């Protein structure tokens, strides 16, 4: 296992853990610069899942046989790893969901659906991913509450100057923002907004889908009320994410999905709900996926979230410098020290999809599109951008391959 690194991350050594890099794409080494979309998986995660399926798989909680016990231990062990990873106090506050989107919908429907009404407001920012925007917009309006968006200022940060006006006209019940923007990479300073939300009696919902893979995320230090992550963005499998929430809030909420496992008793006259976390985990859990997420967390902890963040700042600085040399390029977002490993850009006169398609021919994988951030694209005055994103296995040569590819793109369109 190559993850016994010291303080500074050794991306080259880590890269050897990822089988996906053992192939050529269109005859070229793979420059995978799409990790903000979904990350690659190390052998440690793949092996943990295979071993679990080969030796310990059964359904959880319901079986009294050995395999059922092993599988339950695997799922609950993973829950405790998530708890420690997020520095949550109690594993019962960690709900397994399919992904961050489902976690945020759970809060919007189960908390928002029962606590929002006319005169209330939900506040989000212009930087949100649709997953932390659309559920709030929908539930707020369905309940007759207002849905308000803080615009971003010239530095790309949410403009907090209108907050007090908002509070004068509304009872603000929810403030929901991301910790790291998937489109610009901006690392938010959430402190002032969290304090403001709590001072005004609102809950604070943190979308940590992009933060958890790239930096230390401490739910207690952030002082948020709910926080959502996705396993597939942090070296884990797809199909699993986690929602952390304050126990007293989760206990007070109605369930989100109903059916097997989430009940205490079912009678024709009345059904009662199970305890946390089961109340929010209807149906068969993503069992092997949880084991994979647990292995991914072990992997990230061994590499060190602080070392991952520092590595990404270095790569972002290198990328901003190298990309800045390309004629006709527009770079979006903050300086490297305030961003995770994400660089969005456009080449003058060339549609991002064309850029991405031509880059693919030279083995470079980036994302082109609106990145599920249409309000932000609207603000930037573009329909789409290209986005290169980096992770713990990214090496500077991949950024060089991207820059070389962009010169080829320019030649094709010359």
List of residues contacting ligand PLP (CB under 6 A): 99-101, 129, 131-132, 178, 182, 207, 209-210, 230
Helix-helix angle 396-412:305-324, to 10 degrees: 30
Query: What is the four-CA torsion angle of 186, 112, 134, 339, rounded to 10 degrees?
Result: 10
**Cβ closer to ligand PLP: 56 or 131?**
131
CB of 183 to ligand PLP, least distance (A): 8
CA dist 71 and 52 (Å) reads 8
Choose between 129 and 313: whose C-beta lies nearer to ligand PLP.
129
Closest approach of Cβ 105 to ligand PLP, in Å?
9
Identity of the residue, 56 or 182, whose beta carbon is nearer to ligand PLP in the bound complex? 182
Q: Measuring CA to CA, which residue among 408, 412, 390 is closest to residue 32?
A: 390
From 206, 224, 235, 372, active-site residue: 372
Q: How buried is 324 (Cβ within 10 angstroms: 0-12 exposed, 13-18 middle, 19+ buried)?
A: exposed
CB of 209 to ligand PLP, least distance (A): 4
Query: How many whole angstroms separate alpha carbon 176 and alpha carbon 186?
Result: 16
Of 219, 217, 233, nearest in space to 296 by CA: 233
Q: Which helix (H) or strand (E) holds 200?
A: none
Q: How many CA atoms lie within 13 A of 307 on its CB side?
A: 18
Query: Would you say 11 or 228 has its CB closer to ligand PLP?
Result: 228
Least distance between ligand PLP and beta carbon 36 (Å): 6
CB of 41 to ligand PLP, least distance (A): 15
Cβ-proximal residue to ligand PLP, closest one: 182
Is 372 an active-site residue? yes
Nearer to ligand PLP (CB atom), residue 31 or residue 373: 373
Based on CB atoms, which residue is closest to ligand PLP, 138 or 413?
A: 138
DSSP count for the chain of H helices, then E strands? 15, 17
Query: Least distance in Å: CB of 160 to ligand PLP?
Result: 20
Q: What DSSP string describes 291-308?
A: HHHHHHHHHHHHH-HHHH
Q: Hey, which bits of 268-371 come out as E strands?
A: 271-273, 329-332, 342-347, 364-365, 367-369
Residue 340 · residue 214 · CB < 8 Å: yes
Q: 3-state DSSP: the chain helix, strand, coil percent, rounded to 5?
A: 45, 20, 35
Which residue numbers are catalytic?
A: 372
């Amino acid at each position: 296992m190559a993850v016994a690194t010291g303080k500074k991350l050794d991306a080259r050594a880590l890269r050897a853990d990822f089988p996906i890099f053992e192939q050529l794409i269109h005859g070229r080494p793979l420059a995978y610069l799409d990790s903000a979309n979904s990350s690659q998986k190390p052998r440690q995660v793949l092996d943990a899942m295979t071993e679990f399926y080969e030796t310990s798989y059964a359904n959880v909680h319901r079986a009294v046989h050995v395999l059922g016990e092993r599988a339950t231990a695997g799922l609950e062990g993973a829950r405790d790893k998530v708890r420690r990873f997020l520095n949550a106090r109690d594993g019962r506050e960690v709900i397994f969901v399919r992904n961050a989107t489902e976690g945020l919908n759970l809060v919007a429907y189960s908390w928002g659906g029962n606590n929002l009404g006319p005169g209330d407001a939900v506040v989000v920012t212009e930087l949100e991913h649709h997953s932390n925007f659309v559920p709030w917009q929908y539930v707020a309006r369905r309940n007759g509450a207002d849905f308000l968006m803080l615009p971003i200022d010239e530095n790309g940060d949410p403009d907090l100057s209108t907050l007090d006006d908002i509070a004068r006209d509304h009872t603000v019940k929810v403030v929901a923002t991301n910790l790291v923007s998937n489109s610009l990479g901006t690392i938010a300073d959430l402190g002032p907004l969290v304090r403001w939300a709590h001072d005004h009696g609102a809950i604070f919902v943190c979308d940590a889908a992009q933060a958890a893979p790239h930096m230390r995320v401490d739910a207690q230090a952030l002082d948020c009320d709910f926080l959502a992550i996705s396993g597939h963005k942090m070296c884990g499998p797809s199909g699993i994410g986690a929602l952390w929430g304050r126990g007293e809030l989760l206990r007070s909420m109605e369930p989100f999905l109903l059916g097997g496992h989430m009940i205490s008793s079912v009678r024709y006259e009345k059904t009662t709900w199970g305890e946390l976390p089961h109340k929010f985990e209807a149906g068969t859990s993503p069992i092997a996926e949880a084991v994979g997420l647990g292995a991914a967390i072990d992997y990230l902890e061994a590499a060190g979230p602080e070392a991952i963040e520092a590595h990404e700042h270095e790569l972002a600085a290198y990328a901003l410098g190298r990309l800045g040399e390309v004629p006709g390029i527009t770079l979006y977002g903050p300086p490297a020290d305030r961003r995770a490993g994400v660089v969005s850009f456009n080449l003058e006169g060339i549609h991002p999809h064309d850029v991405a398609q031509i880059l693919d021919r030279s083995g470079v994988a980036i994302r082109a599109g609106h990145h599920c951030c249409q309000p932000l694209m609207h603000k930037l005055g573009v329909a789409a951008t290209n986005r290169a994103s980096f992770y713990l296995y990214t090496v500077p040569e991949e950024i060089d391959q991207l820059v070389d590819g962009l010169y080829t793109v320019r030649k094709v369109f010359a």
